[in-house]
Amino acid sequence: MTVLSTTQRQRLLDVARESIRHGLAYGKPLPVQDEDAALLQPGASFVTLNLHDELRGCIGSLEAHQPLVKDVAQNAFSAAFRDSRFPPVTAREFDALDLHISILSPSEPLHFSSEADLLRQLRPGIDGLVLTDGYHRGTFLPQVWEQLPEPAEFLAHLKRKAGLPVNHWSPTLRVERYSVDSIP
């Protein structure tokens, strides 16, 4: 993961906010033009919106497939207007939104022989996880450890998010971990 300067980090926050403002006015993400080489490198991000300390939207990319600055613009727009858990953000809410960007490292697979082995490998507060089994898939950013600090509880909730029973175990279960650079 590229270490971003304070100026680059602020630029990403500005792009995220402007993409939501652009979405309110035009119904689509902000078209981004940037000259900063670091922000034009492929990057994966999640944008989380909070309103009055409550989740208001969270959308992201697990893999780098476009320039980071464009990924942030699109994910900010999607978090505001396409998160199926919430109605679209309104102009009245805009000024009160608290934006948080997570820039993801590439994922690395975890190798484990049992659920107990997997739980021993987890790093609370550090690991974001992607859990996959067949068509079921879910992810939790490392920030979720704040609400679910126990590895067994974290994993159970992640299974549920992926559409699996909390006691699900299968030899085809795959888990990958990643870390994030959080802005702010």
Q: What is the pLDDT along the chain (184 residues), one digit of tens a residue?
A: 668 999 999 999 999 999 999 999 999 999 998 888 999 999 999 999 999 999 999 999 999 999 999 999 999 999 999 999 999 999 999 999 999 999 999 999 999 999 999 999 999 999 999 999 999 999 999 999 999 999 999 999 999 999 999 999 999 999 999 999 999 8
Architecture of domain 108-183: 2-Layer Sandwich (3.30)
Q: Could you tell me the residue ranges of all domains in the chain?
A: 6-104, 108-183
The pTM of the full predicted model, rounded to 2 decimals, is 0.90
Architecture of domain 6-104: 2-Layer Sandwich (3.30)
C-alpha span between 178 and 166 (Å, rounded): 22
C-alpha span between 145 and 125 (Å, rounded): 5
